[in-house]
Amino acid sequence: MTEEMQNRTRQTPGAGPVLVTSGTGKTGRRVVERLAAREVPVRVGSRRGEVPFDWADESGWEAALSGVEAAYVAYAPDLGAPGAPAAMTAFGQVVRRCGVRRLVLLSGRGEPDSVVAEEALRAASGDAELTVVRSAFFTQNFSEGVLVEGVRGGELVFPAGDTAEPFVDADDVADVMVSALCGESGAGRVHELTGPQALTFTEVAVELTGATGREVRYVALAGAEYEQMLVGYGVPAAEAAFLAELFTTLLDGHNAAVTDGVKQALGRDPKPFARFAAEAARDGAWDA
């Protein structure tokens, strides 16, 4: 692409807003902050967002996408979940009707089921430019997500065995998303994002012990034990089974290799886990 063409396709002042689905979540919130800092108009779409948007109810999608230039697509509960391909097809059809020019899709790294959903969106959304970002496990799962209470309580109970995972920081993911949403580097491509180093959960526990100043230990569970634990906490049986299967498959070792996806997209290195942990501790993520 020539420089002139790149300039033409970039997000320009006066263009329509960007719809950010899951705009209150771990990546969506960061995408919203970054777009606002660039003075790009944003619609925060989620069940609790300023624009009502529910992945389980198509009736609000057309209003949310009407007049929109670009959309950040973060499907809930997970792009690898059984309902995701049908939802991506239906969403892509609305994208096409509304003339949305650019889509940036959050996907999971090394998840064949998520690739099916990616392709469903690509097939349904016509000429819209599609960027796919396949991300490793977020470091923020330890500070804002499924594992935050475990860190506070000193025990990471998870079905990860001794597998290493190259955790990636949601700040880095959001930077890649915003670059693509604004038609800059990496737009229209498929990215595989990881952090700079693969760590086992035992090594993560050591990092978190150092960052919090309190002992955090890792307790490995089999998938079936984890599923039973979730059911015991009141998670519906089907969701518990899906999550146990998702985590044990993701963390079976096939995703352990580090990629240079952040460097390729942004020209800089990703954030190390130790820096994430120090920043989260400083910001009070694990305070009582």
For helices 112-124 and 84-98, give the axis angle rounded to 10 degrees: 20
The yes or no reply on residue 159 touching ligand NAP (CB under 6 A) is: no
Nearer CB in complex with ligand NAP: 15/145 = 145
By CB under 6 A, name the one of 26, 34, 43, 102 that touches ligand NAP.
Answer: 26
With CB under 6 A as the contact rule, the residue among 11, 30, 32, 46 that binds ligand NAP is: 46
Number of residues that bind ligand NAP (CB under 6 A): 26
| Residues sharing a CB contact under 8 Å with residue 116, sequence separation 6 or more, in sequence order | 84, 85
x-or-dash string of contact with ligand NAP, 115-144, rule CB under 6 A = --------------------x-xx--x---
What residue type is 167 in one-letter code?
A: F
**Residue 149: Cβ within 10 Å count:** 11
29-46: buried (b, 16+ CB within 10 Å) or exposed (e) per residue?
Answer: bbbbebbeeeebebbbbb
Does position 211 bind ligand NAP by CB under 6 A? no
- Among 16, 25, 85, 186, indicate the residue that binds ligand NAP (CB under 6 A): 25
- Provide long-range contacts, Cβ within 8 A and 24+ apart, for 42-51: 42/17, 42/18, 43/17, 43/18, 43/19, 43/68, 44/20, 45/19, 45/20, 45/21, 46/21, 46/22, 48/24, 49/23, 49/24, 51/19
User: What backbone phi and psi angles, to 5 degrees, belong to 164?
Assistant: -95, 140
Site for ligand NAP contains 47 (CB under 6 A): yes
Q: Which stretch binds ligand NAP (CB under 6 A): 47-55, 63-71, 179-187, 268-276?
A: 47-55
Distance (Å) of CA 109 to CA 145, 167, 194, 257, 258: 18, 11, 9, 11, 11
Is 249 among the residues that bind ligand NAP (CB under 6 A)? no
Task: Indicate whether 192 belongs to the interface with ligand NAP (CB under 6 A).
Answer: no
Cβ proximity to ligand NAP, 30 vs 102, nearer residue:
30
The verdict on 165 binding ligand NAP (CB under 6 A) reads no
* 22 lines the binding site for ligand NAP (CB under 6 A): yes
55 binds ligand NAP, rule: CB under 6 A: yes
Among 1, 56, 238, 288, binds ligand NAP (CB under 6 A): 56
Q: Counting contacts by CB under 6 A, is residue 186 touching ligand NAP?
A: no
User: With CB under 6 A as the contact rule, which of the stretches 19-27, 58-66, 96-104, 216-224 interacts with ligand NAP?
Assistant: 19-27
- Is residue 166 close enough to count as binding ligand NAP by CB under 6 A? no
Residue 180 has which token pair?
């693509």
Distances (CA, A) of 75 to 48, 60, 162: 15, 15, 29
Whole-number Å distance between alpha carbons of 224 and 113: 21
Pick the closer one to ligand NAP by CB: 81 or 221: 81
Cβ at position 80, least distance to ligand NAP in Å = 6
Distance of closest approach, residue 22 Cβ to ligand NAP, in angstroms: 4
Residues that bind ligand NAP (CB under 6 A): 22, 24-28, 46-49, 53-56, 74-76, 78-79, 106, 108, 135, 137-138, 141, 145
